[in-house]
Amino acid sequence: MTRPSQHERALIVDWGGVLTTPVERAFRAWLAGEGLREVHFVAIMKELHNQPGSILHQVECGEAPRESFEGELAKRLSVLHERQVDPVALLERMFAALDVNDEMTAVLAHARSAGWRTAVLSNSWGNTYDEPFLESLVDDVLLSHRLGLRKPDPACYEVAAATVGVPPSACVFVDDLRRNVRGAQRVGMTAFQYGANTAADLRKLIGDEVTEADGL
C-alpha cells in the first residue's frame, strides 16, 4: 500500500484529557469542593453513557440544551446526597480545574510544521471551550453538538476526516477513552489511547515520516 504524502496526513485529537490535564482530576476537585461522593457521580455517568438516547447523548448531539443535562445531573446527585445540588453553571464548576496540556499542544505544533492537517474532535456537553485558543492550535475545531454526531459513532470520524481533507486511513487519532479509540480504528484510523508516552510516540511517528519523505 502506498504511504500518503506528508500533505495528506492528519492528526486529530480529543480535547478533555488529551489537550487538557486529566478530566477525572478536575471532576475530583469539583466533587471534593461541593462535598459530593465520587462513587455516586461515577454511577450516574456510567448509566447515562450506557443508556441509548440518554440526556447525555442528546446534549452531545445537539438535540438538547446543556441546561437539561445540568438539571438532570444535579437532580440525580441531589437525590443521592439528600440535599440540593445547584444546576446553574454546573458544567463550569465541573471543568474549572482543567489546565492546558502543554506537551500535546507542542505535538500539534510539530505536526503542523511537518505539513500535517490538524483538528480537535470533542464530544461536547455544551460546556465553554476557549475556541480562539483551539483555533490557534489546529486547522479545524469539531464539536459533537454542532456536528450532530458523537464519538464513537463511525460517521463522526468520517466527517472529521472529510473536514481535514484526508481519508480515515491517513488520520492519526488520540483520545483518552478506549471506546472512542476503538471507534476510530473501526473506520481505518490509526488511533491511540492517551497515556504517559503518547506525546513522545507521536513525535517519533511524525519525525520518522518526515525523514522517510525527505529521503524519497
Separation of alpha carbons 83 and 147, rounded Å: 36
Q: Which of 4-13, 76-85, 88-97, 137-146 has the lowest mean pLDDT?
A: 4-13
pLDDT at 1 over 90: no
Separation of alpha carbons 90 and 185, rounded Å: 33
The pLDDT tens digits for 21-70 are 999 999 999 999 999 999 999 999 999 999 999 999 999 999 999 999 99
Residues belonging to the chain:
216
Separation of alpha carbons 116 and 17, rounded Å: 22
Q: Please provide the distance, in angstroms rounded to a whole number, between the alpha carbons at the two ends of the chain.
A: 16
The pLDDT tens digits for 182-210 are 999 999 999 999 999 999 999 999 986 64
Task: Select from 137, 111, 140, 160 the least CA-distant residue to 9.
Answer: 111
Say what the pLDDT of residue 209 is: 64
